[in-house]
Structure 1
């Protein structure tokens, strides 16, 4: 059962964690509005969510390259739950921003550990499929979270948002119910006693860790073909999702759309993303990875710009559903691109660099959106997102494979001439 259902249990845990965050993000915006925050303050609060992770991603990736992933998953759940609960007790926008940063750090810990686990336990031909299934967990959370938040908030933004944040903390703790034995342990390591492991550790320290592989420099990872483009595409797609979550409540307030309706709209987008990821494998076979990334980013850019128009709610729902389908492609394919392009022994670090780019976008994009909204209106940030996705579409032409280059023929280690190594040195015995 451990070998067969590990991905299903990981997806379930990710769904709980993401549902908590997806409940908390709009609740934070509504609570900040109830405390007197304006559009610029909302942008700052949304940016702080990504500020701590911006500096922690690479060290956490280095640590995961050398060790296990499960401890990082547990730490992430604790930080997410704590950040959600304490955001509900904060009495000022500044306090809410601080605890939102803790929540963002917890989400980063969970995602780095989970993505590294998928990379280790997936054969090369399974990576597109497994990363697509893994991100379904995020989409499920994004589907349930906003609806629950809208229902709990109701007409009283102050008390309702506090209740939503407390409930989101409880939802985050449910991740522990499916994390048991999600990581395959090395049989030799599990048979050692604690005393023997400490003795080996002392010997390694005395030898200067001569048996440990050297760290791959960050600049070498970033120079690998496909890594920068994959990072930027992921940044653009996540920024679009993040600003939709943070700013659609603000748009709803200005257009007299009820919080429950806003929650349904956000969940509709997430449902379309799930639908996209369920059919991603046949779409890759039909169009190829390059065309699929390019077309979906281009359509996403047009749809984001369309949200800025004063359209009725039903038209907004149609655009958000189409946008959710288009945004569902970028994240899993950018994961696969970065993992395949990364040098040996640096997969987790490369994924952490991708997440660093994501968090940089989550810091810069909401702050820029807040400034633009303050100057040009609440719909203007969606035009900015359109420009960002348009740039991602241009970069998408340089990422992926065409229909004549199937995944199973691609070397696992990237585009270079090196032969593929089935298992990285730090993860032997962990591939099912």
Structure 2
């Protein structure tokens, strides 16, 4: 019980630390006189190393344990706040972004792995992951508002320096996270190359993992758009930092209510329908942003987008846990985060292209068209491989290589 509460506390603090810099970094870049293309590159660099390190870090979590990896990420978060505070030019800002990306990867992968391994039965795990997602959404809601208010009072650099204090809280909270490393006597030590091979094998042979990676990338794109590019659009409309934080935060507030409704929605509509809804309601509102200029219309679009994207994370986590064995889960979570970091890296790069040819407002429409094709691709993937009516977990797990029928007895998955 104490461990479960500790993970929820760390999730809340981590999301505040991870989300507080997303709207502030592009605004700080604009304050420093950087061009739109340069700002896009600065945002993208945060996800560059995590894209390559997600699978090895997943292996590190399996072998070293969640607690140790979490502590390492906390130290990096403390250092990140110091670097942001010292950022008076693009070089130091890029260095802070790199350190921030690696620290977030270490913390988030260890916390997600610990959360999925805390419960054993499908119903208990789904319920806990629902709470996990709600605490995550609360942190995402508070972060932009806290950052906006702090930026209006003290400026961007001091607001970003708050990361160091949050890193200290994460370091203290790491004691509540259980050690979940695998038994080294029964499981051979894996090299980095072997972890890539294992991750590649899981991704190639496990259609369920492929689905969670593909579907999980769309809300990452949307979150990057809403938290990094929407603030620039709002700033050009002369909104204050506090108002920008409120509009961005409303998307996360909507996600809280959405995740509270996750269980009844799945029972009533089925997992497949809910997944489809989460995909399209997340990005279509962002495509409509250039049509509005007032606070409340833009706040409503942010809320609808957050509602759609909010249910995707706990659902894909639950499905991924069901599609993998316990000893595979760290690497599988690394695969999921690899896809997320690829989206987080590609979104700013695409923004630089869209911004160059169609401007800031036109880039929202371009993203909407791109993600529409992506969403249709996910639906086609499910229809082609027939992953089960309503994406029922028990039905899907039977088709996963390495999971036997006897492991499904009693409604449990490994």
**Aligning the two structures, in what range does the TM-score lie when normalised by the shorter sequence?**
0.7 to 0.9
Cα shift at 1:323: 1.0
Asked whether the equivalents of residues 70 and 110 of structure 2 are also in contact (C-alpha less than 8 Å), the reply is yes
Alignment check: 8 A CA contact 1:342 1:414 kept: no
Is 1:20 the counterpart of 2:17? The answer is yes
User: Which residue does 2:364 correspond to in 1?
Assistant: 382
Residues 412 and 422 in structure 1, CA contact (< 8 A), matched pair in contact too: no
Matches within 5 A, 1:333-372: 333-342=315-324, 345-372=327-354
| Corresponding residue number in structure 1 for 2:62 | 65
Question: Aligned-pair distance for 1:410?
Answer: 4.6
The one of 114, 124, 127 equivalent to 2:125 is 127
Relative distance call for 1:417 and 1:36 in structure 2 (3 A) is closer
The answer as to 2:176 corresponding to 1:181 is yes
SS class of match (1:418): coil
The answer as to whether partners of 1:18 and 1:138 remain within 8 angstroms in 2 is yes
| One of 202, 205, 213 as aligned partner of 1:221 | 202
Measure how far apart 1:11 and its partner are: 1.5
Which of 72, 91, 94 is the aligned partner of 1:94? 91
C-alpha separation between the residues in 1 aligned to 2:407 and 2:74? 31
Query: Larger deviation: 246-255 or 60-69?
Result: 60-69
Partner of 1:81: 78
Written as runs of structure 1 = structure 2, the 5 A alignment for 1:6-405 is 6-123=3-120, 124-154=122-152, 160-183=155-178, 217-223=198-204, 224-342=206-324, 345-394=327-376, 395-396=378-379, 398=381, 402-403=389-390
| More moved, 350-359 vs 223-232 | 223-232
Task: Give ranges in structure 2 of 5+ residues lacking alignment.
Answer: 409-413
Alignment CA distance shift 1:322-1:211 (3 Å): closer
SS in 1 for 2:207: coil
1:279-327 deviation per Cα after TM superposition (whole angstroms, max 9, x unaligned): 2111111111111011221222321211132342211111111111111
Q: Is the 8 A contact 2:286 2:305 kept in 1?
A: yes
Q: Determine if contact 1:150/1:260 at 8 Å carries over to the other structure.
A: yes
1:413: how far off? Answer: 7.3
- The 8 Å contact of residues 14 and 175 in structure 1, kept in 2 or not, is answered as no
Contact in 2 for aligned 1:343/1:414 (Cα 8 Å): no
Quote the offset at 1:339 in angstroms: 2.6
User: How well do the aligned residues superpose, as a CA RMSD in angstroms?
Assistant: 2.8
- The aligned counterpart of 2:411 is none
The aligned counterpart of 1:196 is none
Distance in 2 between residues matched to 1:184 and 1:372, nearest whole Å: 45
The number of residue pairs the alignment matches comes to: 398
Give the Cα–Cα distance (whole angstroms) in 2 for the partners of residues 148 and 289 of structure 1: 34
Contiguous gaps of at least 5 residues in structure 1:
190-200, 424-430
The structure that is helix-richer by fraction is 2
Contact map agreement 1:301 1:388 (CA 8 A) in 2: no
TM-score of the superposition, structure 1-length normalised?
0.84
Greater C-alpha radius of gyration: 1
Please report how far the alpha carbon of residue 211 of structure 1 lies from its aligned counterpart in structure 2 after TM superposition: 6.0
Alpha-carbon distance between aligned partners in 2 of 1:392 and 1:421, rounded to the nearest angstrom = 36
Distance 1:321 1:39 in 2: 26
Shift of the 185–417 alpha-carbon distance from structure 1 to 2, 3 Å rule, reads: closer
For residues 187 and 309 of structure 2, the distance between their equivalents in structure 1, rounded to whole angstroms, comes to 45
Q: 1:229 to 1:308 in 2, by over 3 A?
A: farther
Residues 384-420 of structure 1, C-alpha deviations (whole Å, 9 max, x = no match): 33234424433146557545x754x457576358316
